Amino acid sequence: MEQQLLNALVLASIYVLFSLGMTLAWGVLGILNLAHGAILVGSAYSVYLIGDDRQMPLGVVLALGLLVGGGCSLLLEIGVFRIIRNSTGDEEEKELRVAIASLGASSILVAIVAKGTANAPFAVPTSFTTHVYDVFGLRISDLQILIIVAGMGISLGLSRWLKLSRTGRAIRAVAADPETASLMGINERRLAAGTMFAAGAMAGLAGVFLVVYLGGADPQSGASLLTTAFAIIVAGGVGSIGGTVLGALTLALVETLILTYTSGSWAPAAAFVLIILVIVIRPQGLFSSSRTKVDRA
Amino acid sequence: MIDWYASNTTLIQNCMIAILLALSVQVVMRIGVLSLAGIGFYGLSEYLTANLVIRDVVPAEVAILASLVVCGIGAFVLSLFLGRVRGLYLAMVTLAFVLILNVVAINGGKWTGGANGLFGVPFAVTTAHIVVVCLIGILVVWATERGAIGRACEALRTDELLATSMGIEVRKYHRANLVLSGLLGGAAGGLNVLNLGAVGPFDAGFGLAVTTLTMVIVGGRRSWLGAVIGAVLITWLPTVLSFLEGEMRNIASGALVIVMATLVPDGLLGLLTSQIRRLRAAVRRPSGRSTTKEVDDDTQLVSADR
């Protein structure tokens, strides 16, 4: 049982890394990036290509994933999302077109990976080998520790940074009211680009962690991760970092329990049921008292 | 003509079914709602029709009608739950609905055939059946796009709050369009399974949702004609552009979606109508010096237009 809880915690940390970027982009800029899952898979695949059988240290592999993920996301922001944002004033229309365009970008990325791998699972080449420690009968690897520290550390750091730093305050201002924020001298364009880069970078990091942790990844795995992240985000309340962490923990726990105690492949349904329950019954999210676009941390 | 028809029968059938499916997405988009529930009802109807026919419960026509009734009721119930849900939330809830049906299909035991799906469904429909159902679908969507109903839908799409204040019953229109979407999706699914003879758990999943959305976005989301143009184009294009193989096709269609969503939000139909309008305006106001004769012609043209 303890072992299952540990597995759930590691899974939750990867979910957190992946969902944070999505919730940030949606909460701050109103961008629901449906290519987020494809960016995760794409950056892991790029690291596989760059690596080319050279066994690179884990740090290098993670940094590469981070850069490629951030780059992809930034490219989408500059080449697509920004154009759509500038072309219409209608918020709903904007969100809808951004979501549809990102869906197109997602098919392109997934198709490239599927073509390159002939739809077979791929691994990230790294010289890293895991060591398993025995802590009071609990078997925990150094990779698992690293993932948990990264996931929880980054979310804590991000929430502190958003709350305390000058740029963090600017981001929250843009989330609350972009127009007034720009009147106060905040450069929304640069902030949007920075936010999207950070979002993609976290997805890339999550992608490399996931592939190294599981030993391989399927080119099509982005779509299911996307719905998982969406469930986490709406459960936590859009834009809320604390909510994202709680949502990820809940979902990872439920999925692990379903996997352990049932024979069928019902685990993916947990996320879908969560989405429907939350949106239909409690649209402001399970863990937030009011509908917030920005994290109050 | 007959030769062409004979060698393209499958393609024509697929086009007609794609049109019904595209209409099921377009019909909700015309009130400004992105709902993928039509895809879910497509899958539901496929399995339902297949089960009824394989087990010899009822003849094929009755099986399709029964599936339609179930889809209609299902869509109505769904619309009750979706009450105030709007925008991207609604899109993702309906996507979750589609994906849940996928999971159910995999775990459904003998009723769904698990990962293998169901096969050996008797081929009970002809091209004529498909064409007739498709035309009925188009007719219904066309008819509800005109007159008072059409204007109400247009108002809802532009501004829901404003539409409410003008006395348009938002709920009623939402429900009606969602139910119509479910019926169109259900009709497409029933026809498809009786036409292909098999159904798999991922037939009506994420991929089909993206393809259908592509059709509507490329063709134009404002009108039934856009959905028809998009469905025909996306179904037919791959056979013309046969050099685009496998994944290249997905890359091309993904790029197309990005271009349309970014630069041509109203689709090919929107592009066409705006061009025609511009052309007409150019005819009405001929450049250069204008004589009384020309002005006379101009007014005549305008009155003829009306």
| pLDDT band for position B285 (cuts 50, 70, 90) | confident
**Of residues A84, A92, A112, nearest to B251 (C-beta):** A112
Query: Which among B11, B6, B48, B93 has a CA at the least distance from the CA of B194?
Result: B48
Query: Which among A29, A67, A73 has a CA at the least distance from the CA of A46?
Result: A67
| Rounded distance between C-alpha atoms, residue A132 and residue A149, angstroms | 16
Cβ–Cβ < 8 Å for B253, A108: no
Q: In this complex, do B210 and A80 lie within 8 Å of one another by their Cβ atoms?
A: no
Mean pLDDT of the A245-261 span: 92
pLDDT at B240: 80
Tally helices (H) and strands (E) across chain B: 14, 2
Q: In this complex, do A103 and B88 lie within 8 Å of one another by their Cβ atoms?
A: no
Q: Note which residues in 180-209 of chain B have CB less than 8 A from chain A.
A: 206
In the numeric block, the tokens 């960016």 are attached to A39
Q: How far is CA A238 from CA A241, A242, B68, B268, B292, in A?
A: 9, 11, 37, 34, 64
Span B143-190, pLDDT tens digits:
999 989 999 999 998 888 899 998 999 999 999 999 999 999 999 999
Q: Indicate if the pLDDT at residue A156 is higher than 90.
A: yes
pLDDT at A288: 60
Query: Which among B232, B265, B163, B201 has a CA at the least distance from the CA of B8?
Result: B232
How far B215 CA lies from chain A's nearest CA (Å)?
12
Q: How far is CA A174 from CA A87, A167, A177, in A?
A: 19, 10, 5
Interface test with A, best of B39, B89, B260 (most A CBs within 10 A): B89
Q: Indicate if the pLDDT at residue A240 is higher than 50.
A: yes
Mean pLDDT of the A98-120 span: 93
Q: Indicate if the pLDDT at residue A166 is higher than 60.
A: yes
Q: In this complex, do A107 and B96 lie within 8 Å of one another by their Cβ atoms?
A: no
With beta carbons under 8 A apart, name residues in chain B contacting A266. 103, 107
With beta carbons under 8 A apart, name residues in chain A contacting B32. 92
Q: Is A280 in CB contact (< 8 Å) with chain B?
A: yes
Mean pLDDT of the A110-139 span: 88
Q: Is A76 in CB contact (< 8 Å) with chain B?
A: no
| pLDDT band for position B298 (cuts 50, 70, 90) | very low
**Of residues B81, B214, B254, nearest to A111 (C-beta):** B254
Cβ–Cβ < 8 Å for A18, A229: yes
Span B46-96, pLDDT tens digits:
999 999 999 888 999 999 999 999 999 999 999 998 877 888 889 989 999
How far A59 CA lies from chain B's nearest CA (Å)?
32
pLDDT at A238: 87
With beta carbons under 8 A apart, name residues in chain A contacting B82. 280
- Kindly report which listed range (A9-18, A34-43, B294-303) carries the lowest average pLDDT score: B294-303
Q: What is the pLDDT of chain A when averaged over all its residues?
A: 89
Cβ–Cβ < 8 Å for A174, A186: yes
Query: Which among B150, B265, B193, B188 has a CA at the least distance from the CA of B25?
Result: B188
Calculate what percentage of chain B has a pLDDT beyond 70.
93
Mean pLDDT of the A30-57 span: 91
| Rounded distance between C-alpha atoms, residue A110 and residue A35, angstroms | 9
Identify the DSSP state of A55. -
Q: How many CB atoms lie within 10 A of CB B237?
A: 16
pLDDT at B297: 45
Question: Under the phi-then-psi rule, with left for phi > 0, alpha for psi from -120 to 50, and beta for the rest, what region is A142?
Answer: alpha
Query: Which among A43, A77, A17 has a CA at the least distance from the CA of A229?
Result: A17
Cβ–Cβ < 8 Å for A25, A233: no
Q: In this complex, do A265 and B106 lie within 8 Å of one another by their Cβ atoms?
A: yes
Instruction: Report residue A124 as tokens.
Output: 């990230």
How far A297 CA lies from chain B's nearest CA (Å)?
23
Please tell me the number of Cα atoms within 13 Å of B73 on its side-chain side.
Answer: 5
Query: Domain ranges in chain B?
Result: 2-205, 270-306
Cβ–Cβ < 8 Å for A58, A126: yes
Mean pLDDT of the A172-184 span: 89
How far A252 CA lies from chain B's nearest CA (Å)?
18
Mean pLDDT of the B265-287 span: 88
Span A77-104, pLDDT tens digits:
999 999 999 988 788 889 999 999 999 9
Calculate what percentage of chain B has a pLDDT beyond 90.
63
Q: Is B77 in CB contact (< 8 Å) with chain A?
A: no
Q: Is B205 exposed, middle or buried (0-12, 13-18, 19+ CB in 10 A)?
A: buried
Mean pLDDT of the B194-202 span: 92
pLDDT at A152: 95
Q: Is B161 in CB contact (< 8 Å) with chain A?
A: no
Q: Indicate if the pLDDT at residue A1 is higher than 90.
A: no
The number of residues making up chain B comes to 306
pLDDT at A264: 67
With beta carbons under 8 A apart, name residues in chain B contacting A104. 214, 253-258, 261
With beta carbons under 8 A apart, name residues in chain B contacting A100. 213, 217, 257, 261
With beta carbons under 8 A apart, name residues in chain B contacting A223. 206
Mean pLDDT of the B260-266 span: 92
| Rounded distance between C-alpha atoms, residue A230 and residue A238, angstroms | 9
With beta carbons under 8 A apart, name residues in chain A contacting B81. 276, 280
Q: In this complex, do B88 and A110 lie within 8 Å of one another by their Cβ atoms?
A: no
Mean pLDDT of the B100-127 span: 89
pLDDT at A296: 41
Q: In this complex, do A275 and B96 lie within 8 Å of one another by their Cβ atoms?
A: yes
User: ipTM for the complex?
Assistant: 0.88
Interface test with B, best of A23, A72, A280 (most B CBs within 10 A): A280
Mean pLDDT of the B84-110 span: 89
| Rounded distance between C-alpha atoms, residue A274 and residue A279, angstroms | 8
Q: Is B256 in CB contact (< 8 Å) with chain A?
A: yes
Q: Indicate if the pLDDT at residue B288 is higher than 70.
A: no
Q: Note which residues in 27-66 of chain B have CB less than 8 A from chain A.
A: 32, 34
Q: In this complex, do A269 and B103 lie within 8 Å of one another by their Cβ atoms?
A: yes
Q: Indicate if the pLDDT at residue A290 is higher than 80.
A: no
Q: In this complex, do A97 and B206 lie within 8 Å of one another by their Cβ atoms?
A: no
Q: In this complex, do A103 and B257 lie within 8 Å of one another by their Cβ atoms?
A: yes
How far B52 CA lies from chain A's nearest CA (Å)?
25
Residues 6+ positions from A60 with CB-CB distance below 8 Å? none
pLDDT at A32: 93
Instruction: Report residue B65 as tokens.
Output: 């009608």
| Rounded distance between C-alpha atoms, residue A111 and residue B248, angstroms | 7
pLDDT at B299: 43
Q: In this complex, do A266 and B32 lie within 8 Å of one another by their Cβ atoms?
A: no
Q: In this complex, do B262 and A114 lie within 8 Å of one another by their Cβ atoms?
A: no
With beta carbons under 8 A apart, name residues in chain A contacting B84. 283
Q: Is A57 in CB contact (< 8 Å) with chain B?
A: no
Calculate what percentage of chain A has a pLDDT beyond 90.
61
Mean pLDDT of the A197-218 span: 94
Mean pLDDT of the B120-137 span: 93
Q: What is the pLDDT of chain B when averaged over all its residues?
A: 88
Residue A4, phi then psi, degrees to nearest 5: -65, -40
Please tell me the number of Cα atoms within 13 Å of B32 on its side-chain side.
Answer: 22
Instruction: Report residue A36 as tokens.
Output: 């987020």
Q: Is A234 in CB contact (< 8 Å) with chain B?
A: yes
Mean pLDDT of the B110-114 span: 88
Residue B198, phi then psi, degrees to nearest 5: -150, 160
In the numeric block, the tokens 């859009």 are attached to A238
Query: Domain ranges in chain A?
Result: 2-220
Task: For residue A132, list its beta bridge partners.
Answer: A141
Span A5-24, pLDDT tens digits:
999 999 999 999 999 999 99
Residues 6+ positions from A59 with CB-CB distance below 8 Å? none
